[in-house]
Amino acid sequence: MREEYGAVSVLVGHRRGAYPHANSLLVRGAAESLLVDPSLSLVVHVHRADLGGRTVTVVHLPGHTAGHSGSSSNRTA
């Protein structure tokens, strides 16, 4: 199942993302897209992606669930 929120799609996981499953996020920019998949561990602890006018920062947040991460988004000039 997929839920759409403008340029962001929530790819709904098993049992609607209930623990220990999770939902992935697909963020679409003008030239690039970013997939945040909580089932995967990040190789680096902080990752930034320029999505054409918007920068998304993904931070690894260990200790909650395997591969858990958080993200923030900022407009760029």
Does residue 56 sit in helix, strand or coil?
Answer: strand
Query: What is the domain partition of the chain in residue ranges?
Result: 2-75
Q: What is the pLDDT of residues 38-64, one digit of tens each?
A: 766 544 466 778 878 888 887 777 665
Does residue 7 sit in helix, strand or coil?
Answer: coil
Task: Look at residue 29 in the predicted model and tell me its pLDDT.
Answer: 82
CA distance 40 to 38: 5
Chain centroid to CA 37: how far? 6
Does residue 16 sit in helix, strand or coil?
Answer: helix
Q: What is the pLDDT of residues 5-45, one digit of tens each?
A: 988 889 888 788 776 667 888 888 887 787 777 766 544 46
Task: Look at residue 48 in the predicted model and tell me its pLDDT.
Answer: 79
Residues 6+ apart with CB under 8 A from 6: none
